Amino acid sequence: MRRQITACVGLLLGLASPLLWASAFSVVFINPGRSDEPFWRSVTRFMQPAAQQLGIELEVLYAERDHLKMIELVQQVTQRRRKPNYLMIVNEKLAGGEMLKLADRAGIKTLVTFSTFEGAQVAEFGQPRQKYRNWIGSLTPSAAEAGRLSALELVQQARRLGVVASDGKVHVAAIAGDKATPTATQRLAGAVRAFAGDSSVVLEQVVYGNWDRARAREQAQALMLRYPQLNAFWAASDLMAYGAMEAAEADGRTAGQDLLFSAINNSPEVLQARLDGRISALAGGHFAAGAFGLVMLYDYHHGRDFRSEGLQLRPQLFLLLDERRARVFLERFGNEDFSSVDFRRFSKHLRPRLRRYRFSLRRELQ
């Protein structure tokens, strides 16, 4: 039996790239979402083939939308006998600071992803590699761009379809995420600026759905009663958009016809809703930040430090997912199998002539 096991292991090692096996290292990612949540599930599934192609031992721990559990998970990781080489965290509900302190004391190099420090947190934690030496950098998609893109497209679609109020204007209600997470506040800020720049738009009210479908449904019910001329809902996530749509349909409205909705995400469900016309404006692509963070760690681990490009990168990962892109995305990745993406082409270590990262999914969605 032992010989059979040894033979199987030997075969696997023989088939694997010697370079990758020789340079394998470990990364723990603290996923702030729920394990069954479409967006955070897609983040993990996109990271897995990247880790496999780059020879990274990846472990994903879910906090199930509990920011205190995120801190607890990091504490558990720091107390392990065999600590990971790297930790990836998200500054969800501003919990990133406490996680960073724990990791720094344990000597674990840390990359902050998706949502980094803003405002008062910058004054407290400074910049990477200064006060906290093991905080090596951050990779944060431009959340404000997601808000701007989806807001502009929502208004454009309302005009195209003639979904305006009796005053000829588009009356919008915004369902934001939460008041603490920088990504949430930046998405909202991008949308609010876009609406404010258009005199034909009336932003009636902003509410905070806390990323919850049921809460967004209740809020949408109240907003439709309060503002009878409401034409559109801007939502910071697909789940909150679904909740608002459920409220609208219960009130006899038709999503995509007399009441329009926008969303931010790229789950198969929301992509199909975009194709069906129930979602009129959709931005997505930021789920790739986790995998691209692994590419940065891979390069850093092999001596290609990203310092020359900046310690806090803000790539334009968000794309407006129109009908064509939504269809291509569903055809290529509808089952959330991302193994066909060549993550090695993004690596500066594997492509020595590459001077700047080109993190984007435009090529995959052509």
Same domain flag for 292 and 253? no
Same domain flag for 155 and 272? yes
Quote the distance between the C-alpha of residue 206 and its chain's center: 22
**What tens digit of pLDDT does each residue of 143-158 get?**
999 999 999 999 999 9
pLDDT value at position 56? 98
- Half-sphere exposure in the Cβ direction for 12 (13 Å, CA): 7
Same domain flag for 98 and 169? no
Q: Is position 1 within any domain?
A: no
Residues in the chain with pLDDT values less than 50: 1-22
**What tens digit of pLDDT does each residue of 68-89 get?**
999 999 999 999 999 999 999 9
pLDDT value at position 17? 41
What's the rounded Cα separation, in Å, for the pair 19 and 31?
29
Helix, strand, coil share (%) of the chain residues, nearest 5: 45, 15, 35
What's the rounded Cα separation, in Å, for the pair 340 and 329?
12
pLDDT value at position 24? 84
What's the rounded Cα separation, in Å, for the pair 247 and 334?
27
Q: Determine the structural domain holding residue 190 and report its residue range.
A: 144-284
- Half-sphere exposure in the Cβ direction for 138 (13 Å, CA): 23
Same domain flag for 261 and 168? yes
- Within the chain, where are the H helices? 2-15, 18-22, 38-54, 67-78, 96-106, 120-125, 143-161, 182-196, 213-226, 238-250, 268-276, 289-301, 323-333
User: For position 236, which CATH number holds?
Assistant: 3.40.50.2300
Q: Is position 75 within any domain?
A: yes
Which of 341, 344, 365, 175 lies closest to 285 in space, CA to CA? 365
State the greatest distance between any 2 C-alpha atoms of the chain, in Å, as a whole number. 80
Same domain flag for 159 and 280? yes
Same domain flag for 34 and 80? yes
pLDDT value at position 119? 87
318: CB partners within 8 A, 6+ apart? 141, 142, 143, 145, 146, 149, 264, 283, 284, 285, 286
116: CB partners within 8 A, 6+ apart? 91, 96, 138, 140, 182, 312
220: CB partners within 8 A, 6+ apart? 173, 175, 233, 243, 244, 246, 247, 248
Q: In what order do the strands lie in the sheet with 312-313?
A: 56-62, 25-31, 86-90, 109-113, 135-139, 312-313
Q: Is residue 24 left, alpha or beta, with left meaning phi > 0 and alpha meaning psi from -120 to 50? A: beta
222: CB partners within 8 A, 6+ apart? none
Does pTM top 0.75 for this prediction? yes
What's the rounded Cα separation, in Å, for the pair 148 and 141?
13
What's the rounded Cα separation, in Å, for the pair 201 and 217?
23
Q: Is position 262 within any domain?
A: yes
Q: Is position 359 within any domain?
A: no
Q: How far is CA 220 from CA 156, 216, 242, 243, 245, in A?
A: 22, 6, 10, 8, 8
Q: Is position 61 within any domain?
A: yes
In three-state secondary structure terms, 229 is coil
Total domain count, the chain: 2
Tokens linked to 297: 């760690």
pLDDT value at position 15? 37
pLDDT value at position 366? 86
What's the rounded Cα separation, in Å, for the pair 145 and 187?
7
Same domain flag for 148 and 279? yes
73: CB partners within 8 A, 6+ apart? 30, 61, 63
Q: How far is CA 208 from CA 137, 180, 212, in A?
A: 30, 11, 9
Inter-residue contact 250 to 282 (CB < 8 Å): no
pLDDT value at position 7? 31
pLDDT value at position 23? 54
